[in-house]
Amino acid sequence: MKLFQAGLFTAVTLVTTVASTFTPAAAITVQTPAEGKPIAPRVQLAQNQDRSIAALIRQGADLLVAGRYAEALSVLDRIIEQDPTISEVWMARGFALNGLERYPDAIASFRQALNLDDSISVTWVGLGMALDQTNQAQQALAAFDRALELEPNDFLAWYQRGITLANLDRFDEALTAFNQAVRLDPEDADGWYWRGWVQGALGQYEAALTSLERSIAINPENAGVWYYKGLALTNLGRNDEAIAAAQRALQINPNLTLAQELLDQLQANASTRLGQR
């Protein structure tokens, strides 16, 4: 069951990494004149175009990092009009479209990026994310696997692979993926969150509690983590602690229905036990 989708909460981190490739040195080769010789008009025009593309690439990357996906898309389309051969621009365009939840368009953009250069692991990750959002889980897994062939230590590929597997109820495989993810980035709260969720689904409640507490130590303001901590504590028979966890979840997000239902159940059970004494 899909309790929540990864969505785009890792997109900013990922695009920040991608943006580092969008430099004039990486994307464009600028010819320089020999010393003492004037620049021919045609060469000058090419240099001006290169500088324009470089500036647009930096602008598009900044907009992506800021989460301004529609504006980023507009800028990236302008770059493609001038030069449609830069794989990283098509890749960034895919992430902008992911951010706009235009997943079929994102898939097309990522595929074009791969047509130009299929050796960039993050492009495969982005494609997998878009495929997963369009209920193409097997194709998404294939994309994540290809990313991991290219970069075995790609945190996001392991993380997204774990989410796809968890949503398919393939919990043992998902746990393996999240084990890799938290090994690669032990400071990522969401990796520990999902690891704890999968461990709970496998009935490993003590282990789940440890993972969820690790997530809370990194980010104590995620209501969902507190809810699942409460659920793990409930399954361990630690009801007073579970009540406190559910209450904390509702302090963070009063509209979290699952936490309210858990709290009501726990409090009703506590009242029943008191009445039986």
pLDDT digits (tens, 9 = 90+) for 20-66: 444 433 333 333 334 444 444 443 444 445 667 778 888 888 898 88
The pLDDT assigned to 275 comes to 60
Measured distance CA(72)–CA(57) in Å, rounded: 10
Least confident span in 47-51, 155-159, 180-184, 269-273: 47-51
Q: Does domain 1-117 have CATH number 1.25.40?
A: yes
pLDDT(242) > 60? yes
For the chain, what percent of residues have pLDDT higher than 90? 69
Q: Is the pLDDT of residue 109 over 50?
A: yes
Q: What is the pLDDT of residue 274?
A: 61
Encode pLDDT of 207-234 as tens digits: 999 999 999 999 999 999 999 999 999 9
Closest CA relative to residue 122, chosen from 162, 151, 83, 96: 151
Residues 132-173: tens digit of each pLDDT: 999 999 999 999 999 999 999 999 999 999 999 999 999 999
**In this predicted structure, what is the pLDDT of residue 57?**
84
pTM of the model: 0.80
DSSP 34: P
DSSP string, 251-267: HH-TT-HHHHHHHHHHH
Distances (CA, A) of 261 to 145, 227, 230, 246, 272: 38, 10, 11, 9, 16
Per-residue HEC secondary structure of the chain comes to: CCCCCCCCCCHHHHHHHHHCCCCHHHHCCCCCCCCCCCCCHHHHHHHHHHHHHHHHHHHHHHHHHCCCHHHHHHHHHHHHHHCCCCHHHHHHHHHHHHHCCCHHHHHHHHHHHHHHCCCCHHHHHHHHHHHHHCCCHHHHHHHHHHHHHHCCCCHHHHHHHHHHHHHCCCHHHHHHHHHHHHHHCCCCHHHHHHHHHHHHHCCCHHHHHHHHHHHHHHCCCCHHHHHHHHHHHHHCCCHHHHHHHHHHHHHHCCCCHHHHHHHHHHHHHHHHHHHCC
| pLDDT reported for residue 6 | 36
Q: Which two tokens stand for residue 114?
A: 């791969």
Domain boundaries, the chain: 1-117
Q: What is the mean pLDDT of the chain?
A: 84
pLDDT at 81: 92
Distance (Å, whole) CA 217 – CA 206: 17
